[in-house]
């Protein structure tokens, strides 16, 4: 079994894979990473692992993790199963690298647009195992916060599906502006890619997957754990080269 560790700003997702099947997913606070990983290793027969740290862990914690498990630490020099045509590869986020790996392995004969709806919304395009790039946009929560932070009177709201695209109160106008804005942005970007690439598969992932998927007009595949799946593909790819 393999352990996949995805470190975010405050939380960590740790997934146990057996072959291509996700057997267990554990989410915990970043400061508990050593104790939680030890629990997982004790529970499962873990043979190897990979870690992706968007928010960098301390050197002390990374050293301790390497001591308790044979880990690949994903960075820009890690071998990946796709051709990276990004002009600034050293600035490409490790989460986006993982998404590209997933697409390259699972959809090797077609074009894939991966949309990660999290803190930011990222669009990543893989053209038959070649990563070309994409776009970065503010995410759902960031948009709500910006309206509150950069104005004197607009309230900070939690995301909510608008009842009508025409808001009839300040709150309903904010929900309409933020949610409809994102939904129409995503549909618009998908349509841009479709106009150039006929054989296009669209996959939505990230924390806001379930909230946004049902509101989109375009047909998509939704998988909230795509980064973990991609990290697993990178681990298998590197292990095959050993």
Please indicate, yes or no, if residue 68 is contained in any of the structural domains. yes
pLDDT digits (tens, 9 = 90+) for 161-174: 999 999 999 999 99
* Same-domain check for residues 14 and 123: no
CA 27, 1, 222, 102 torsion-angle sign: positive
* Same-domain check for residues 146 and 28: no
Please indicate, yes or no, if residue 240 is contained in any of the structural domains. no
Residues that are catalytic: 95
* Same-domain check for residues 92 and 36: no
* Same-domain check for residues 64 and 162: no
* Same-domain check for residues 49 and 97: no
Does the pLDDT value for residue 59 go beyond 90? no
- What pLDDT sits at residue 53? 82
Structure tokens at 21: 């099947």
Percent helix, strand, coil in the chain (nearest 5)? 40, 25, 30
* Same-domain check for residues 50 and 156: no
Q: Domain containing 56: what range?
A: 2-73
- Asked whether the beta carbons of 8 and 20 are under 8 A apart, the reply is no
Whole-angstrom distance, CA of residue 80 vs CA of residue 236: 10
pLDDT digits (tens, 9 = 90+) for 113-145: 999 998 899 999 999 889 999 999 999 999 999
* Same-domain check for residues 92 and 39: no
pLDDT digits (tens, 9 = 90+) for 175-189: 999 999 999 999 999
Three-class DSSP category at 34: helix
Q: What is the pTM of this model?
A: 0.90
- Asked whether the beta carbons of 219 and 202 are under 8 A apart, the reply is yes
As annotated, the binding site for substrate includes 86, 93-96, 170
- Number of structural domains found in the chain: 2
Please indicate, yes or no, if residue 196 is contained in any of the structural domains. yes
* Same-domain check for residues 103 and 204: yes
Residue partners of 231: CB distance under 8 A and separation at least 6: 4, 6, 50, 52, 74, 98, 101
The CATH number of whichever domain residue 108 belongs to comes to 3.30.420.40
* Same-domain check for residues 11 and 107: no
* Same-domain check for residues 115 and 222: yes
* Same-domain check for residues 104 and 63: no
């Amino acid at each position: 079994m393999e352990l996949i560790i995805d470190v975010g700003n405050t939380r960590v997702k740790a997934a146990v894979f057996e072959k291509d099947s996700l057997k267990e997913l554990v989410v915990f606070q970043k400061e508990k990473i050593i104790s939680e990983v030890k629990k997982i290793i004790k529970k499962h027969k873990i043979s190897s692992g990979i870690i992706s740290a968007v928010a960098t862990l301390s050197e002390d914690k990374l050293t301790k993790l390497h001591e308790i498990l044979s880990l690949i630490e994903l960075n820009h020099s890690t071998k990946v199963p796709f051709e990276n045509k990004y002009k600034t590869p050293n600035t490409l986020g490790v989460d986006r690298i993982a998404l590209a790996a997933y697409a390259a392995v699972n959809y090797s004969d077609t074009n894939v647009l991966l949309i990660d709806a999290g803190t930011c919304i990222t669009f990543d395009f893989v053209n038959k195992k070649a990563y070309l790039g994409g776009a970065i946009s503010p995410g759902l929560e960031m948009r709500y916060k910006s309206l509150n932070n950069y104005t004197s009177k607009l309230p900070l709201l939690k995301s909510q599906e608008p009842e009508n695209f025409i808001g009839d109160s300040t709150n309903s106008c904010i929900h309409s502006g933020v949610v409809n804005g994102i939904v129409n942005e995503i549909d618009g970007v998908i349509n841009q890619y479709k106009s150039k690439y006929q054989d296009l598969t669209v996959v939505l992932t990230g924390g806001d997957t379930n909230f946004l998927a049902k509101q989109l007009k375009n047909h998509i595949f939704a998988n909230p754990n795509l980064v973990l799946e991609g990290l697993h593909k990178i681990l298998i790819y590197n292990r095959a080269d050993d």
